[in-house]
Structure 1
Amino acid sequence: MPGLDLLATFLEVYRTGSLSAAAERLGVSQPAVTGQLARLEEQLSTRLFVRSRRGAEPTERAVALAAEVGLHVDGLRSALGPRDVEPAVRGLVRIGGAAELMTVRVLPALARLVAQGLQLRTTLGLGDELLAALAAGHLDLVVSSVRPRQDVVVATPLVDEEFLLVGPPALAHTVDPVRLAADPVAALAHLPLVAYAEDLPIVRRYWRSEFGRRPPNTTALVVPDLRAVLAAVAAGAGVSVLPRYLVASALDAGQVVELHHPEAPPLNTLYLAGRRGVPHGPAVAAVRARVTEAAAEWGSL
């Protein structure tokens, strides 16, 4: 059974997305973190992270392991460590955001606060719906891909999402690189699309930004979850446009490839929104601070 130190190191890498950031938080050297992570992977006989220049992307096994052991390891560290290292966080915070980003980035970043006593209630959904719930007082904070327009909502830029056009290797081989450079819309037109919604919100934005028009492609599959979109693309159902944070592991593993390489990748700013003029207690302040801190560690998504 893996020891507490190995699991604690694993959780720091998982939450920060970086071996160097985990080493800094733990107060050890990066080689020490690398060695502990290697021992844990050897004990579990599985790979937990895909390393790249962008950091350490968790595998599916790592996501499952973090969910299984996170609260228990944090609780043990709190019980065995100095009592004044991590003060208790009391109160209930209601936070909303897109299912994919909350699952992969935001909730893992907030797990430590939950271990310190914070009560967290999460609502998953679309930006406009969540901002309306925030304005109505049903939520305390929202991580939104939509810039708020309501007067009662105030938002600060949090992090930029970077979008990539990706497809399975088998379909990528059918794209003529010469034609792609000369007429990308025509070169890509035969590829079926996998989309988040019928109106192709993310795909359409990419085509208009990069190619100046809507995609003429056939929409083969629509599923309202970007993780399912990625799974369908990797399985060969078609191509799609997805945020880098979601596809990084699949790219590194060769399950999908980038079909188009723009000089400046399309970006979408995410915002951390709250209600204007509403005094927040220490629990909401702690969540806001932790999400902001984590976003700085992520860099661009």
Structure 2
Amino acid sequence: MQLLWLQTFMAVYHTGSFTKAARQLGITQPTVTQQVRGLELEFGLPLFERNPRGVVPTPSATVLAKDVQDSLKNLSIAIGRHFGDGEENRPLRIGATPELAAARLMPALSRLVMGGMDIKTSVGVSYELLDRLSEGFLDLVVSTIRPRRRGLEATPLADEELILAASPSMAQEMFPHGVTEEDVDLVAKAPLIAYAETLPLIRQYWKDVFDATPTTAPSVVVPDLRAVMSAVISSAGISVLPRCLCSAALSSGALVTLMEPELPPINTLYLVVQSGTLADYRLSQVHSRLLRSAQVWA
């Protein structure tokens, strides 16, 4: 049995998709399928069941994942320490959502890069990046969600106000009299644009403002808040977005807010590392620089 098969298995287990696992590992989807099939033949048991959204681990796969996860992480660290180029020479591996990487991460770290620091950035949704951090494949994640798992340390980075946004034409057509906290059923009639199937920001806004849960599936899912904003501007639907991301579109009139709650919902960004790793000088530098930069993000 090859160690690589187990690493591929863990990528499929965490992403719930052969395609996403292939993208994460930098290999082809048929290679992922072949390696998982090889593992299943070794065990004599199926590890995943297909469904319309990807794959679901079988009970046997869940037991296997829990048994090998920590060992794979420790092996990865040991191999890098003894056979790699050295921890002090390899790039720091940082994960963030695409819009945070573009708007926040790169500008904040530019001086460190000019000073000679090597940084490798991975983009994706936060829960997938946190999986890669737990497995030792990333050093730090700028996360839009607070991790609730052992072995990770999360430091609050910045708060971002959430708004319910629409294009002026859609706002006038669907909500000519505006929206109040009692109009959750009216809002539910509008197409929803989301950056994840789980509707993270939308769920939070619905809970904080309407004291309800979204009842409709999103019409469009695109894992980049900048693309979500573009879809809203083009009147494809409405969405919940960070106000700071939309400031220019709001000022120009390309976007409008459908309501202004007395207590606007807030989403907190977190800096997440593995426990104990801030003893690394380079990682500590990045961590401190991001904390200082975030003081003026609002």
SS at match of 2:219: strand
SS at match of 2:268: strand
- Give 1:114-153 correspondences, 5 Å limit: 114-153=113-152
Q: 1:222 is matched with which residue?
A: 221
Q: 1:244 is matched with which residue?
A: 243
Kindly state the Cα deviation for residue 210 of structure 1 after the two structures are TM-superposed.
0.9
Pair 1:222–1:138, CA change in 2 (3 A): closer
Distance in 1 (CA, whole Å) between partners of 2:239 and 2:278 is 42
- Give 1:114-193 correspondences, 5 Å limit: 114-174=113-173, 175-177=175-177, 180-181=179-180, 183-193=182-192
Moved more, 257-266 or 214-223: 214-223
Q: Deviation per CA, 1:58-89, whole angstroms, max 9, x where unpaired?
A: xxxxxxxxxxxxxxxxxxxxxxxxxxxxxxx9
Any unmatched runs of 5+ in structure 2? 1-87
Q: 1:33 is matched with which residue?
A: none
Distance in 2 (CA, whole Å) between partners of 1:145 and 1:151 is 18
Distance in 1 (CA, whole Å) between partners of 2:104 and 2:181 is 38
Task: Tell me which stretches of 4 or more aligned residues in structure 1 moved more than 6 Å.
Answer: none
Q: Output the amino acid matched with 1:162.
A: E
SS at match of 1:297: coil
Distance in 2 (CA, whole Å) between partners of 1:275 and 1:189 is 40
Q: Output the amino acid matched with 2:297.
A: W
Pair 1:177–1:276, CA change in 2 (3 A): same
Q: Output the amino acid matched with 2:225.
A: L
Q: Deviation per CA, 1:231-254, whole angstroms, max 9, x where unpaired?
A: 011111111101112111111111
Distance in 1 (CA, whole Å) between partners of 2:119 and 2:164 is 34
Distance in 1 (CA, whole Å) between partners of 2:139 and 2:197 is 31
SS at match of 2:160: strand
Q: Deviation per CA, 1:245-297, whole angstroms, max 9, x where unpaired?
A: 21111111110100011111111111111121236333212111110110012
SS at match of 1:264: coil
* Number of aligned positions between the proteins: 210
Q: Output the amino acid matched with 2:197.
A: E
Q: 2:38 is matched with which residue?
A: none
Kindly state the Cα deviation for residue 148 of structure 1 after the two structures are TM-superposed.
2.2
Q: Output the amino acid matched with 1:143.
A: V
Q: 2:13 is matched with which residue?
A: none
Structure 1 length normalisation: TM-score? 0.64
Q: 1:17 is matched with which residue?
A: none
Contact 2:95 2:122 in 1 (8 A): yes
Kindly state the Cα deviation for residue 129 of structure 1 after the two structures are TM-superposed.
2.1
| Root-mean-square deviation (Å) | 2.2
Any unmatched runs of 5+ in structure 1? 1-88
SS at match of 2:262: coil
**Identity %, equivalent residues:** 43
Distance in 1 (CA, whole Å) between partners of 2:204 and 2:170 is 22
Q: 1:84 is matched with which residue?
A: none
Contact 1:191 1:218 in 2 (8 A): no
SS at match of 1:204: helix
Contact 1:90 1:117 in 2 (8 A): no
Contact 1:91 1:283 in 2 (8 A): no
Q: 1:82 is matched with which residue?
A: none
